[in-house]
Structure 1
Amino acid sequence: MSIPKHPLGLMTKVYREIFPIVHFHLNKWKNKAQLIPDQELKKQAMQSIATKTFHCEGGGILAIIAGAHKHKCVEFIVAYQTISDYLDNLCDRSTSLDPVDFRMLHQSMLDALTVGEPLKKYYQHRHEKDDGGYLHELVATCQNVLSQLDHYTLIKTHLLELAGYYCDLQVHKHVKPEERLPRLEEWFERYKNCYPDLKWYEFSACTGSTLGIFCLVSYGFNSYFNEKLANKIRKSYFPYVQGLHILLDYFIDQEEDKKGGDLNFCSYYSSTNEMQSRLEHFIQKADDHLADIPHQKFHKLVHKGLLGLYLSDEKVKTGEKAINQLAKSLIKKSGKTSYFFYLNGRAYRAIQRIGWSKSS
């Protein structure tokens, strides 16, 4: 199995082997979303795919670890990330502020990781219900791929732990605005002794990523996988790699969220200087925690790639001057590899814009 150790090799493999599979499966789900009978559910499903394709692209990179099984692995990653993005839209942009509704919707993400678990009425607490089987099919696809893993039992507990954190976060952060902060702070009280290095909003960010789940599933396709390695991966990706991923996501959305009145974890830092210091801390901690797993050079490339991907976003370039300067500082301090991915990200987005303008 050839796992890239250098930036150019990684990007060549990603563009040639991974992205085409990602887009094949995304197009399949896009076609199914177009057939959803309920117009509100259809709207949110279509928008989640249209605006969050890069989530599946980024997650799909971890399928390289699955080697000859990368097609199956990407199928799982795209289906699971599509559930995540679709439900995020339903909770964030749709018609409900009911935590009971959000909890039931996100039960689908736990069921998707539980082979043999019966499908449920995930829309039972909301007015819109008829998705034509869209969510059920996404869940069943994930279960089907996991059922083919010889090492599923070694990762199941870790998958459900990480997904449990994720689902809790989605419930707490999407309720009525005045209830969000108390719920999130109370939730963190249960875990703060385990993570004394983190503030409540940093812990929340750490729980909001699916990267650890994708990494565990990708390794689960390999014959050498064992319980010790499963534990290492869980500890390597959570909290710091996942936390950096989501903090970067919130970092580039600060201006947008401020205008929309949306919750943004980066807004709780007392100053730009503190935010920079903590992001640099997460960058270093993520790097340190990836030193003890197989293919660590590959994982560090993915880690550096996250920095380049997010900090090359157009929202950083066109945003507030202080944010733009902070982004440039982070890239500079993160080294040549991050700068390579930063330039690659800008070039890829430029190509996408050209393609979009030609097709519109």
Structure 2
Amino acid sequence: MRAPKHALPLMADVYRQVIPRVHQELAIWKRKADDIPDEELRSQAQLSIRHKTFHCEGGSILGLLSGHHSKEVIRFIVAYQTISDYLDNLCDRSVSLDPNDFHHLHQAMLDVFEPEKEQSDYYACRDHTGDKNYLKDLVTVCREELVALPSFQIIQPHLQDLAKRYTELQVHKHVTPGEREERLIGWFESTAGPLRDEMSWYEYAASSGSTLGIFSLVAYAAKDPRMTRSKAKRVYEGYFPWVQGLHILMDYFIDQKEDHEEGDLNFCTYYESDEEMLRRIGYFFKRAKRAIRSLPDHRFHRMITSGLLAIYLADEKVSQHPLLRRQQFALFRFGGLESMFFYMNGRIFRRSGQKTD
């Protein structure tokens, strides 16, 4: 099986293969979440599945890169994304502002990529601990799929790099509001390397906050048991930083009003003007398109990139916000007709009862 090269076959595969499989996997985790004894942990696990299903659906589209192994790859993607969404809920809506707590929680996302290592005590710094092994079971499922990949060791360093960036971002962005910016700037200065000349600290943070590179690497390793180190590097560099940055900037773009009301950090608010924000998102889109040119299945990745613009612009948060509605037309210029096609699909899909978070 080859990855779809055109929009119509892609959407057909999404509706026929990806969405049903994602919902089957999420149903398993929903039952486990319902069985968590601690009220707070149970509530956050349930909410993360109920309101962030879209994250698993969107990420699992990359499972189509794995050919006949899409079932196994989607199982991994749903479990890993569920870890991410659950921990994000625990940090966003927690009374804790302790970076040690956030570090222990997010160790789960790092433990996934060290299958031989004993799992950590993820709740070591908080009173709520009774999850009936919910988080450890998620880690275990991810590990089961990874150790079955003949090429796992080839992609492992890149997976660990992306996961480390992601977890460090989550720790820094959830601490006391007065410390967040200083911590993130210091992290940027110490870890961004040459990217310091190409983007701001908040754009670097956005580029570190996506799981798409991880999912793409796992999908290719499932398809190609003889995956080379050079191909793994190409996939890594194809997604980080530009595609991942575009992904999270669009996520923050539609969440500006909500994050302001909740007091949550939003990287789009750091731009000096709306014009600069739109210009930089367009720049990330152009750089993303350039980065994916060397990837196998280039047309598929091009559709993913165009879809990132469209699927977020189709969110109801945009239609309900006059300023975002005006700005969306500027962003559509970057994606053209392909983005418009995915936008219309996104609108139809949301009217069937789905939404982003």
Which TM-score bucket, shorter chain as reference?
Answer: over 0.9
Change (3 A) 1:38 1:250: same
Give the 5 Å matches for 1:282-297. 282-297=284-299
Match of 1:336 in 2: 337
Match of 2:62 in 1: 62
Contact 2:149–2:221, Cα closer than 8 Å, also in 1: yes
Distance (whole Å) between structure 2 residues aligned to residue 59 and residue 131 of structure 1? 25
Verify: 1:227 aligned to 2:229, yes or no.
Answer: yes
**One-letter code of the match for 1:311?**
L
Contact 2:149–2:225, Cα closer than 8 Å, also in 1: no
Change (3 A) 1:154 1:353: closer
**One-letter code of the match for 2:327?**
L
**One-letter code of the match for 1:73?**
V
Indicate which of 310, 313, 316 corresponds to 1:314: 316
Give the 5 Å matches for 1:207-286. 207-221=208-222, 222-286=224-288
**One-letter code of the match for 1:210?**
T
**One-letter code of the match for 2:170?**
Q
Give the 5 Å matches for 1:163-202. 163-195=163-195, 196-202=197-203
Q: CA deviation at 1:313?
A: 0.5
Distance (whole Å) between structure 2 residues aligned to residue 248 and residue 41 of structure 1? 29
Give the 5 Å matches for 1:38-57. 38-57=38-57
Contact 2:34–2:46, Cα closer than 8 Å, also in 1: yes
Q: CA deviation at 1:326?
A: 1.2
**One-letter code of the match for 2:294?**
D
Q: CA deviation at 1:353?
A: 6.2
Indicate which of 291, 298, 301 corresponds to 2:300: 298
Change (3 A) 1:324 1:160: same
Q: CA deviation at 1:135?
A: 0.4
Match of 1:348 in 2: 349
Distance (whole Å) between structure 2 residues aligned to residue 258 and residue 181 of structure 1? 16
Q: CA deviation at 1:343?
A: 0.6
Contact 2:282–2:331, Cα closer than 8 Å, also in 1: yes
**One-letter code of the match for 1:285?**
R
Q: CA deviation at 1:325?
A: 1.2
Q: CA deviation at 1:224?
A: 4.6
**One-letter code of the match for 1:228?**
S
**One-letter code of the match for 1:327?**
Q
Contact 1:212–1:233, Cα closer than 8 Å, also in 2: yes
Distance (whole Å) between structure 2 residues aligned to residue 37 and residue 108 of structure 1? 20
The DSSP-based 3-state class of the residue aligned with 1:114 is: coil
**One-letter code of the match for 1:220?**
A
Contact 1:252–1:310, Cα closer than 8 Å, also in 2: yes
Distance (whole Å) between structure 2 residues aligned to residue 117 and residue 72 of structure 1? 22
**One-letter code of the match for 1:347?**
I
Contact 1:332–1:339, Cα closer than 8 Å, also in 2: no
**One-letter code of the match for 2:104?**
M
The DSSP-based 3-state class of the residue aligned with 2:329 is: helix
Match of 1:357 in 2: none
**One-letter code of the match for 1:232?**
R
Structure 1, unmatched stretches of 5+, are 355-360
Q: CA deviation at 1:351?
A: 1.3
**One-letter code of the match for 1:237?**
Y
Match of 2:27 in 1: 27
Distance (whole Å) between structure 2 residues aligned to residue 227 and residue 176 of structure 1? 40
Match of 2:111 in 1: 111
Relative to the length of structure 1, the TM-score reads: 0.96
Runs of 4+, deviation exceeding 3 Å: none
Distance (whole Å) between structure 1 residues aligned to residue 179 and residue 191 of structure 2? 20
**One-letter code of the match for 2:324?**
I
Distance (whole Å) between structure 2 residues aligned to residue 339 and residue 247 of structure 1? 19
Match of 1:358 in 2: none
Query: What RMSD in Å do the two structures reach over aligned CA positions?
Result: 1.1
Structure 2, unmatched stretches of 5+, are none
Q: CA deviation at 1:112?
A: 1.1
Q: CA deviation at 1:120?
A: 1.7
Aligned residue pairs, count: 353
Distance (whole Å) between structure 1 residues aligned to residue 90 and residue 137 of structure 2? 17
Q: CA deviation at 1:101?
A: 0.6
Match of 2:120 in 1: 120
Distance (whole Å) between structure 2 residues aligned to residue 311 and residue 353 of structure 1? 14
Residue deviations 1:283-316 (CA, integer Å, cap 9, x gap): 1000000000100000111111111110110101
**One-letter code of the match for 1:38?**
D
Higher alpha-carbon deviation: 269-278 or 218-227: 218-227
Q: CA deviation at 1:2?
A: 2.3
Match of 1:75 in 2: 75
Distance (whole Å) between structure 1 residues aligned to residue 49 and residue 192 of structure 2? 35
Higher alpha-carbon deviation: 133-142 or 327-336: 327-336
Contact 1:38–1:130, Cα closer than 8 Å, also in 2: yes
Relative to the length of structure 2, the TM-score reads: 0.97
The DSSP-based 3-state class of the residue aligned with 1:36 is: coil
Match of 1:84 in 2: 84
Contact 2:285–2:334, Cα closer than 8 Å, also in 1: no
